[in-house]
A and B are shown apart, each in its own frame.
Chain A
Amino acid sequence: MLLKEKVAIVTGASRGIGKAIATTFAKQGAQLVITGRSSAIHEVASELSTHGERVVAMQGDLREPAHRREVVMACRKTHGRLDILVNNAGVLIHGPLGMTLLESMRDAFETNVTAAMALTQYAIRLMSPARDPCVINLASFAGTRGQEGLAIYAASKAAVVGFTLSTAKELASQRIRVNAIAPGFIETDMTQALPEAIYRTMTERIRLGRIGVPQDVANCALFLASDLASYITGQVIGVDGGLLA
């Protein structure tokens, strides 16, 4: 068990990559606080509880500052500490720049960037240097390389990269490791929502010849969260099947 006695918060765990990360962490012995907007988060919590670890579900919108605080407070109340924060919740905005509403831009940044930054602010106060604590942020290939039709989303993910690199430096003195995962093209509701043409072009560019599955990303998150990665900080790790190679 790679995460025995570790306490983790995983945001956006009601489906997709977040659910796979939470499931993998639970199987590896972690106690969890998981979040999501829909009531599905409670079903995920009951599923995960069968692995024997304590799982608390927090349903709410991370664009709401009060909810971010409630999530970390719930972790304090239930577990008394925190070892791993996974900032996974995210939204994809796609479409030509000229046709993107200001409201959508704000939405993307509030969910993908501000929520992650604010949660990290709260979370690090529950982390103890002695327990090899870490933060894992979900970036994207779009944020490191850019992608037409995804300008706003890419900008928000580039912000996640900048935040990761800077906090890795700033928090190293507290022994908190901060890394990001930049998934390529992973089969979830998010990519299903993309127009057929983008979907086809993207999958054709994957060198390993298959679209990724949430477990591919969860495996990387598990490694980064575990003591196996205790000397790794300030990295943005691509999980993309060679999409960019």
Chain B
Amino acid sequence: MSQTKLARCFAEALGIQEQAVTDELAYQTIKEWDSVRHMALVAIIEQTFNVMLDTNDIIAMSSVGKAKAILAKYGIDCDAA
């Protein structure tokens, strides 16, 4: 996947391989992506991209693809990052 920075965030927060991070990877479809890790993921994404996400967006961030779309709203192009 080209959004390496974002993939690294997912891999680190969820404790999974970067190769496993695809746009289709969705919340609660793997045991590693539960509600506790979701908040850890948010923290790492915020740290990496220097943003503060709205709670609406945290709830809506239900897949890697959605995360990219949400970050785009904050002016972050994950494909370029």
Contact = CB atoms under 8 A, between A and B. Distances in A.
A73 B52 contact: yes
Contacts of B50: 76-77
Contacts of A72: 52
Interface residues of B, number: 9
Nearest to A75: B52
Interface of A: 69, 72-73, 76-77, 121-122, 124-126, 173
Contact of A125 (B36, B43, B54): B43
A94 B42 CA distance: 40
Interface of B is mostly: helix
Contacts of B52: 69, 72-73, 76, 122, 125
- The 4 A-B pairs with the shortest beta carbon distances in the complex, nearest first, are A125-B43, A73-B52, A69-B52, A125-B46
A123 to B, nearest CB: 10
Nearest to B53: A125
Interface of B: 36, 39, 42-43, 46, 50, 52, 54-55
A112 B50 CA distance: 28
A103 B18 CA distance: 51
18 contacts: A69-B52, A69-B54, A72-B52, A73-B52, A76-B46, A76-B50, A76-B52, A77-B50, A121-B55, A122-B52, A124-B39, A125-B39, A125-B42, A125-B43, A125-B46, A125-B52, A126-B43, A173-B36
Given A77-B50, A124-B39, 16 more contacts: A69-B52, A69-B54, A72-B52, A73-B52, A76-B46, A76-B50, A76-B52, A121-B55, A122-B52, A125-B39, A125-B42, A125-B43, A125-B46, A125-B52, A126-B43, A173-B36
